[in-house]
Structure formats: structure tokens, C-alpha cells
Amino acid sequence: KWNIADAVLLAVSYIEVFLVAFNLDVAGQLQVIRVIRLGRLMRMVKLLKIFPSLYSLIRGFIGTIMAIFWGFGFILFMLLLWAIIAVQFIHPDNKPLYEDDTAWCATAFTTVSNAVVYFFQTTVVGDSWGVCAIPLMQTSSIHFWLLSSAFVTVQLGITNLILAVIVDAAAQVREQDVHERAAELNKHQQEARTVLMRVVKSMDEDENGDITFSELLEAYEKNLEFKS
């Protein structure tokens, strides 16, 4: 994997050299390429093994990036559904409350995109939930059930579900890290066993499968690998 990443970064570097040499910067390609080259910093992750706690944190974060990405997409999808419902059922009652007003609450439910921003602001970020909601609830109890249902499904349902998936992904990365460490330790043990067998065979001068005391003393005096 690291070899593939190095090959990609090397190719990107050559592209950047080519663009700079010919003074080409079409639609800001140089900026994009330079951002991609930041991927070289990923190499530093391997150096962080000397700090086990920090290495585990970074490995866990990298392992949960995809879970975070899909979780964010899932949240946006749910917000889109609630936004469509809000534009259809909340906007007609919200419009008379803010006649000739340009405040955010006046335009929050006019379009689906505005409604998505409103629900993200109130259900995900948790900012000023009651500012636009309370006046609507005072006009009809239906709006209470709509807005509270949106809050519960997103804030208490989806976000906690995503959190559980992220924690599970981090646990899988931690378990994989344990297996990698065990494999690395086993590799070192195999290498040490190979070296030991080579030393032992070099000590057995008569090749009878046994090491005598005299062979042991002679190996200690002459065999530098055995002494080390």
C-alpha cells in the first residue's frame, strides 16, 4: 500500500514540475496538486510508532474516515427528507409570521436548500432550535410534532448510530493494529530463530547433531556471532 501511495505522489510531483516548467496553471491545477502532495505527511504515521498512544489515535482516526464520510452523507440525506416535508407543510404557516421580513426564520422554509441548512443548524449543530420553531408551534401543534420528530430522528437517532459505527470502526482498527504487532513480533522471533540455528550449526563442527562442551568453548572464543 505504501509503495502505491509513493508511486502516486511521485507521479503528482512530476506533473507539478511539468506544469511549472511550462508555466501552465489551468483552473488552479497547481493548487490542487500541491494539496495532493500533502499526502506525503502520511509517511510520518509510521514514524509515530515510537509513541504508541499517539500512533493508536492517528490510526483510529484514519480508520474511521470512511465511517465519518458515509455518516455525514446519511445525515444530509435525512435532512433532505425533512427539508422536503418542511417546505410542503411548514412554509405555508411560516410565511404569514414574517411578512416583509428578511430574517433567517422568514426564509428558512422557502426552499429545500434553506430548510436543509436550518435543520443542520438546529438538529446537528444544536444552534437556536427554538428561535424559529416556537412561533410555529404556537400557531399549530402539528409543527411541534414535525420539528420535534426531525430533532429526535437526527439528533438522538442518526448521530448516536453514526457514533456507534465510528467507535466500532475504531475498535476494528485497534484490533487490526494488535494483529499487525503480533505478526511483526512473530517475524522478529522467526528471524531470531533462524540466526540461532545458523549459529548452532556453525558450532557443530563434526556435524553429528550434538554440541560438546569443547565445541561450545571454542565457539565462544572464535565465533563472533555467538559471542554477540
pLDDT in tens, 79-109: 999 999 999 999 999 988 887 777 888 999 9
* Closest by CA position to 155, among listed 125, 132, 183, 133: 125
* Closest by CA position to 167, among listed 84, 67, 46: 67
220 Cβ neighbours under 8 A, 6+ residues apart: 226, 227
What is the pLDDT at residue 2? 55
Name the burial class of residue 41, with classes exposed (0-12), middle (13-18) and buried (19+) by CB atoms within 10 angstroms of its CB: exposed
What is the pLDDT at residue 225? 67
What is the pLDDT at residue 35? 66
What are the pLDDT tens digits along the chain (228 aa)?
556 766 776 777 777 777 667 666 554 566 666 666 666 666 666 666 777 777 778 778 878 888 899 999 999 999 999 999 999 999 999 988 887 777 888 999 999 999 999 999 999 998 888 899 999 999 888 999 999 999 999 988 999 999 999 889 888 888 887 787 788 888 888 888 888 787 777 777 777 777 777 777 777 777 766 666
36: DSSP letter: H
What is the pLDDT at residue 39? 62
Using alpha carbons only, how large is the chain's radius of gyration in Å? 32
What is the pLDDT at residue 59? 77
Torsion-angle region of 25 (φ positive above 0: left; ψ -120 to 50: alpha; else: beta): beta
3-state helix, strand, coil in the chain (%, to 5): 85, 0, 15
